[in-house]
Amino acid sequence: MPVRKILQYPHPLLREVCRPVDEIDDEVRIHIRNLVDTMRASPGVALAAPQIGVPRRIIAVDVTTRCPGAGLIVLVNPEIVAKGRMKTVREGCLSIPQYTADIRRAETVTVRGLNSEGKEVFIESSGLEAVALQHEVDHLDGILFIDRVESIRSLFRRKKPGP
């Protein structure tokens, strides 16, 4: 599958609330493959469908490069159903590669969604994977990490673009 271009802020699609997926058909499977291939070709650990120009509720997360053994998570219509204690984390985004900032995120989350076969799954996650899941679900609601910046003082410009 082709690697798609990752949309950059301020592209208007990044601010849209994405449509739910009614059925996991061939079109949705193509979107999933494109999302995973694009994520794996990028320096990041997660990607949401609107970042590749698809306004549907689909995300892919794979923190294995930073947390060995984690594995690929693909979720359709994901919803965070439980959150743990909040903490401050350093976060960046492939759609805003010039900056990182301190963000408040839950240390643990439980996310409900459909897997790529259309079966309902519950993912209990912690650490970087939990942060990535929250970040990508935000994308589906048109929320960017810069909307959650704790303090303008925590916003740092990167020397080189990256995740």
- How many domains is the chain partitioned into structurally? 1
Question: Residue 2: inside a domain, yes or no?
Answer: no
Question: Residue 131: inside a domain, yes or no?
Answer: yes
Whole-angstrom distance, CA of residue 43 vs CA of residue 17: 25
Residue 128: CB atoms within 10 Å: 16
Pick the catalytic residue from 16, 91, 124, 136: 136
Question: Residue 75: inside a domain, yes or no?
Answer: yes
Provide the token pair at 55.
């306004």
Q: Which residue has the tokens 């306004």?
A: 55
Question: Residue 18: inside a domain, yes or no?
Answer: yes
Q: Distance between alpha carbon 107 and the CA centroid of its chain, in Å?
A: 16
| CATH code of the domain in which 80 resides | 3.90.45.10
Does the pLDDT of residue 45 top 80, yes or no?
Answer: yes
Do the Cβ atoms of 138 and 105 come closer than 8 Å?
A: no
The predicted structure's pLDDT at residue 155: 81
Look up 136 and say whether it is catalytic.
yes
Question: Residue 3: inside a domain, yes or no?
Answer: no
Question: Residue 1: inside a domain, yes or no?
Answer: no
Question: Residue 71: inside a domain, yes or no?
Answer: yes
The predicted structure's pLDDT at residue 157: 82
Whole-angstrom distance, CA of residue 104 vs CA of residue 83: 12
Q: Is residue 39 helix, strand or coil?
A: helix
Domain span at 51? 12-157
pTM for the predicted model, two decimal places: 0.94
Question: Residue 6: inside a domain, yes or no?
Answer: no
Does the pLDDT of residue 120 top 80, yes or no?
Answer: yes
The predicted structure's pLDDT at residue 153: 80
